[in-house]
Amino acid sequence: MLRIFLPVFFVFFISSALAQTRSLVAVKVSHAPKLDGSLDDVAWQNVPIANDFIANFPNFGNAASKPTEVKLVYDDEAIYVGAYLHDDPKLIRKQLTERDKEDFKDADNFGFAIDTYKDKQNGYAFIVTSSNVQSDIRISSTVIESEMGDNDGLDYNWDAVWDSRTAIVADGWIVEMKIPYSAIRFSKKDIQDWGLNFSRYIRRLNEKSYWNPVNPKQDGLVNQFGDLKGLENLAPPLRLSFLPYVSSGYQSVPTASGQINNVLRSGGMDVKYGINESYTLDMTLIPDFGQVKSDNVVLNLTPFEQQFNENRPFFTEGTELFNKAGIFYSRRVGGMPSGYFDALQIATDSGFTLHKNPSAVQLYNATKFSGRNKDGLGIGVFNAVTAPMYASFERPDGSTFSYETEPLANYNVFVLDQSLKNRSFITFTNTNVIRNGAARDGNVSALGLTLFDKTNTYKFQAKANYSYVTGDDPHNGFLTYAGFSKVSGKWQWGVDNNIKSKRYDPNDMGILFFPNEMNSTAFVSFNQFTADKIFNLRIYNLSVEQSNRVAPFLYSNTLIRGNFLHVFKNFWDATIIFQSQPYWQNDYYDLRTPGRIIKKTPYTYAGLFGSTDSRKKLYVNYGVGYANLSPQKDDPYTNLQLGFRYRFNPKFSLSIDGERQFDKGNIGFAGYDAITSEAIAGLRSVTQFTSTLNAAYNFKARMNLNVSVRHYWSKVDYKTFYYVKEDGFYLPHNFVADANENFNAFNLDMFFTWDFRLGSRLIIAWKNALGPDAAVDGLQHPKYTNNINQVFNVPHSNQLSVKFVYYIDAQQFKKKKE
């Protein structure tokens, strides 16, 4: 009888714990605890304990494997968290990493998260590893459908200034955290409650657990927080900080018209000012973005521009409001001047000496006003002013002249975002760009709505955008989106429709790849979030997408996609990918000619991708894929990838990755006929190799050296050329000489970073890359090994720079005065 009763009681206890929202009473202290990795301070005595963590992965609903005890106190300056994480100290993983790494590599960690407005949508998370490496995250609602893709609402680019200490003890490890009120936003009330959760990750077990259970079958994270009750008389502090910087360095850039050498000198400052309890003003004056990671440039054969990741801190930190409508592509601000290549062509055609041709537009200043008040209203205002850019030339007689490559421009974003009940929200965004003179200006507005039902099971989303462009070619257009989906549970499904009119154009501050198109998608997914005898996790997704041209309304394409993820009990994983284009595609973009189509062949693709257990010192990831082009013979597409990561010790790790893609039957735009100027197509073999090496050495928690080396090679070998008929099919064309391409890109980025005090940093950077005019002859060097060898025999650009950033908090001066 007892054997039956105990399991039933345990199930009842766990079910009750999962069904109820846990709460913790906040305790105010008169003397703050000292951060020393010990919980013996008087402030920690007689304080309520948060414990009995519940596993989220891999065995949701089970009690966590190891006990965790958390205490929380606060005073007039900050919130303090002390956690005792019981464990065998010999088994605790303690790898050092750089700050703000999403996967935390090979280290245990503890997290503290709060929802200060208790809207169940927006929050802050602060995470500390066993080696005292920090990460902070801004949690928000995801964007409504965007060309830039959805996000998971977790912004690791957000940075706050806070403190922590850790210590390994006889039966586990201890973490203490201090979160100043200046790092967060909250309303001014006599008594208030916040959303609250604590998390723990035990690396050797790959176990994630939470104090208030987080059910992986439920959509959302903040809505599954517990409660922090009874915060009294919190006064939002003076939030004024300054981040002045100075930088210096040297840059050498080889070009076809001579070497360009520049001494780099810069200085500026970021200012953060809390206008009130809810809203913050961020300003940057003469920012220096020379010490960010290089872009992964590729040979782009598509009719669309290549999209790059944003690596500049000012444009990544605290921008969740500005990105919510999906129409703000921040790389538009301060990107490459539109006339950069025109200047290179002038130098080539004229023989003039090119002395200066900036590759990035100088940003004069940028300002962000953002925040959310106690009623759930989020407001965001962004403004940036960029300088006019000029290339300078010298004629043979010694006279000089300048050529404008980019006009003076003003960039603006305005956002209103209102939180509603049940995690719902309505959002409005406007972006506009005003350029000097008669240059093009652009304006886009987007209105979006997201609704969840009371049970958090179903979601409805709708969006309507309108764009208006002035200049030499004034035009306007619209975008509409509507989707309905089941977002929680083992089985999930959804349908959506997206229409972009012929002249919809958000590209002044956004990015658009397929205008004049309607997409309708339906998907279904099966999600096994709890472990069984074979798998820790399984997620199966199947979708069908139908594309049509809008004006005139014509068929474009049908795609069937399948993605089947398996995580095994040993934490190896394997993903099977399936994609089929069962009918001939009508491609309306590739020929770069309005109204013309080119037929793209049906195909079926299957791939297997996976990795070994990442907890091991040696970690391997792999992938293999094959596509069959059904109407064509002996024209396969294959891709292979293989990568290794090895951790030599808790401080040093090295990873090497390689990928090869080979498309023997690629058909696409190949230029224009020399006589008729008609677009022609070519059948070509496209080979791509990408090799990357990443090394990280972490001297201590806030001092690290990171090296990244990337070589990319793409070879295009044309076999046949075609006229393209009106129906999109092909007729033979005479062979075009010198159409083949051989493209190499090489970048080496080395960054030494030392956070020598809270908020302050020293960075030493070396960046090496192929010169802008460097090329490797594909006829003499047709193989990958030949190309990678020749890469080191052609001229490279080099940039060595040092940047010193110092954090000044006005609150400290106020405290000293008092």
- Residue 189: predicted pLDDT: 86
SS3 assignment, position 447:
strand
The residue among 13 and 711 whose pLDDT is bigger is 711
Say yes or no to pLDDT of 11 above 50.
Answer: no
The number of residues in the chain equals: 818
Residue entry with tokens 């075609």: 722
Residues 6 or more apart in contact with residue 665 via CB below 8 angstroms: 601, 629, 632, 635, 636, 637, 683
Distance (Å, rounded) from C-alpha 730 to C-alpha 427?
Answer: 47
Closest CA to 291 of 257, 274, 314, 270: 314
CA–CA distances in Å: residue 310 to residues 307, 313, 329, 333, 726: 10, 8, 9, 11, 40
Distance (Å, rounded) from C-alpha 107 to C-alpha 101?
Answer: 11
| Helix (H) / strand (E) containing 73 | strand 68-74
Distance (Å, rounded) from C-alpha 710 to C-alpha 694?
Answer: 9
Distance (Å, rounded) from C-alpha 397 to C-alpha 158?
Answer: 53
- Residue 588: predicted pLDDT: 96
Residues 6 or more apart in contact with residue 704 via CB below 8 angstroms: 96, 97, 98, 696, 697, 698, 752, 753
Say yes or no to pLDDT of 150 above 80.
Answer: no
Q: Quote the longest CA-to-CA distance of the chain.
A: 105
Domain map of the chain by residue range? 21-232, 318-488
Residue entry with tokens 């060309």: 147
18 confidence band (pLDDT: 50, 70, 90): very low
Are 327 and 415 a contacting pair, CB within 8 Å?
no
Tens of pLDDT, residues 482-530: 999 999 999 999 999 999 999 999 999 999 999 999 999 999 999 999 9
Q: Radius of gyration over alpha carbons of the chain, in Å?
A: 28
Closest CA to 30 of 77, 62, 65, 89: 77
The total of other beta-carbon atoms located within 10 Å of residue 397's CB is 5
Are 619 and 642 a contacting pair, CB within 8 Å?
no
2 confidence band (pLDDT: 50, 70, 90): very low
| Phi and psi based region of residue 351 (left: phi greater than 0; alpha: psi -120 to 50; beta: remaining) | left
Say yes or no to pLDDT of 92 above 70.
Answer: yes
Amino acid at 656: I
Amino acid at 375: D
Region 704-721: what's the mean pLDDT?
A: 96
- Residue 258: predicted pLDDT: 77
* Cβ neighbourhood burial of 11 (10 Å; 0-12, 13-18, 19+): exposed
Tens of pLDDT, residues 588-640: 999 999 989 999 999 999 999 999 999 999 999 999 999 987 666 778 999 99
Q: Which sign, positive or negative, has the C-alpha torsion 328, 329, 331, 333?
A: negative
Cβ burial 505-525 (10 Å sphere, 16+ → b, else e):
bbbbbbbbebbbbbbebebeb
Mean pLDDT lowest for which of 62-66, 181-185, 252-256, 295-299? 252-256
The residue among 9 and 389 whose pLDDT is bigger is 389
- Residue 10: predicted pLDDT: 35
- Residue 146: predicted pLDDT: 66
Say yes or no to pLDDT of 5 above 50.
Answer: no
Cβ burial 118-151 (10 Å sphere, 16+ → b, else e):
bbbbbbbbbbbbbbbbbbbbbbbbbbbbbbbeeb
Say yes or no to pLDDT of 411 above 90.
Answer: yes
Token pair belonging to 31: 């003397």
% pLDDT > 90, the chain: 74
Tell which CATH classification among 3.30.830.10, 1.10.357.10, 2.40.37.10, 2.60.40.1190 matches the domain 21-232. 2.60.40.1190
Distance (Å, rounded) from C-alpha 310 to C-alpha 545?
Answer: 29
Say yes or no to pLDDT of 443 above 90.
Answer: yes
- Residue 103: predicted pLDDT: 63
Tell me, letter by letter, the H, E, C secondary structure of 223-244.
HHCEEEEEEECCCCCCCEEEEE
Tens of pLDDT, residues 196-232: 999 999 999 999 999 999 999 999 999 999 999 999 9
Closest CA to 246 of 272, 269, 221: 269
Helix, strand, coil abundance in the chain, percent, nearest 5: 10, 55, 40
Say yes or no to pLDDT of 19 above 90.
Answer: no
345 confidence band (pLDDT: 50, 70, 90): confident
Are 487 and 459 a contacting pair, CB within 8 Å?
yes
Average pLDDT, rounded, for the chain: 91
- Residue 818: predicted pLDDT: 57
Tens of pLDDT, residues 453-481: 999 999 999 999 999 999 889 999 999 99
Note the pTM of the prediction, 2 decimals: 0.90
Closest CA to 369 of 327, 314, 414, 409: 414
Distance (Å, rounded) from C-alpha 184 to C-alpha 136?
Answer: 11
133 confidence band (pLDDT: 50, 70, 90): very high
Distance (Å, rounded) from C-alpha 481 to C-alpha 459?
Answer: 14
Amino acid at 398: G
Token pair belonging to 411: 């960039």
Residues 6 or more apart in contact with residue 506 via CB below 8 angstroms: 327, 431, 442, 444, 465, 467, 479, 512
The CA-based angle 662-297-352, given to 5 degrees, is 120
Tens of pLDDT, residues 28-39: 999 999 999 999
SS3 assignment, position 438:
coil
The total of other beta-carbon atoms located within 10 Å of residue 667's CB is 23
SS3 assignment, position 648:
coil
Region 424-430: what's the mean pLDDT?
A: 96
Distance (Å, rounded) from C-alpha 236 to C-alpha 72?
Answer: 19
The residue among 156 and 528 whose pLDDT is bigger is 528
- How far is CA 796 from its chain centroid? 29
Say yes or no to pLDDT of 15 above 50.
Answer: no
DSSP state of 142: P
Say yes or no to pLDDT of 8 above 80.
Answer: no
